[in-house]
Amino acid sequence: HAKHNRQSAVQLFELGMDERRLRRQKLAVGLQAALEKDELALHYQPIFRLDTGRIESLEALLRWQSPEFGHVSPLELIAVAEHHGLARALNEWVLYRACRQLRQWQLAGFDGLKVNVNISPTMFMRGQLAAAVAHTLRETGISAAALVLEITEDTSLWDTAGSLDTLHELRRIGVEIALDDFGTGYSSFSHLRQLPVNKLKIDKSFVADLSTDQRAFDLVKTIVTLAQSLEMAVTAEGIELPEQQQRLQQLGCQLGQGYLLAKPMPAEAVAGWLARDGRPYALSV
Regarding 238 and contact with ligand C2E (CB under 6 A), the answer is yes
Helices 74-83 and 87-107, interaxial angle, to 10°? 130
Write the burial class of residue 9 (CB in 10 Å: 0-12 exposed, 13-18 middle, 19+ buried). Answer: exposed
- Is the backbone of residue 210 left (phi > 0), alpha (psi -120 to 50) or beta? alpha
The residue count for binding ligand C2E (CB under 6 A) is 26
CB atoms within 10 A of CB 125: 17
- What residue ranges bind Mg ion (CB under 5 A)? 118, 150, 180-181, 237
Regarding 73 and contact with ligand C2E (CB under 6 A), the answer is yes
With CB under 5 to 8 Å by kind, the binding choice for 240 among Mg ion, ligand C2E, none is ligand C2E
Supply the DSSP symbol for 177: E
Interface mask toward ligand C2E for 182-211; x: CB under 6 A? ----------------------x-------
91 or 136: CB nearest ligand C2E: 91
Which value, in Å, is the radius of gyration of the alpha carbons in the chain?
20
93 or 283: CB nearest ligand C2E: 93
With CB under 5 to 8 Å by kind, the binding choice for 119 among Mg ion, ligand C2E, none is ligand C2E
92 or 180: CB nearest Mg ion: 180
Q: Minimum distance from CB of 256 to Mg ion (Å)?
A: 12
CB under 8 A, 24+ apart: contacts of 139-146: 139/96, 139/99, 140/96, 140/99, 140/100, 140/102, 140/103, 141/103, 142/99, 142/102, 142/103, 142/115, 143/174, 144/173, 144/174, 144/175, 145/114, 145/174, 145/175, 145/176, 146/102, 146/113, 146/114, 146/115
Regarding 180 and contact with ligand C2E (CB under 6 A), the answer is yes
CB atoms within 10 A of CB 113: 20
Distance separating alpha carbons of residues 189 and 197, to the nearest angstrom: 13
Which one among 45, 235, 244, 245 touches ligand C2E, defined by CB under 6 A? Answer: 45
Q: Minimum distance from CB of 19 to ligand C2E (Å)?
A: 23
With CB under 5 to 8 Å by kind, the binding choice for 154 among Mg ion, ligand C2E, none is none
Q: Minimum distance from CB of 153 to Mg ion (Å)?
A: 10
- Which residues are CB-neighbours of 110 under 8 A, at least 6 positions away? 271, 274, 278, 279, 282, 283
Q: Minimum distance from CB of 74 to ligand C2E (Å)?
A: 3
Which one among 94, 178, 195, 251 touches ligand C2E, defined by CB under 6 A? Answer: 94
Regarding 27 and contact with ligand C2E (CB under 6 A), the answer is no
Regarding 147 and contact with ligand C2E (CB under 6 A), the answer is no
Residues forming the site for ligand C2E (CB under 6 A): 45, 60-62, 73-75, 78, 91, 94, 118-120, 150, 152, 180-181, 204, 237-240, 257-259, 264
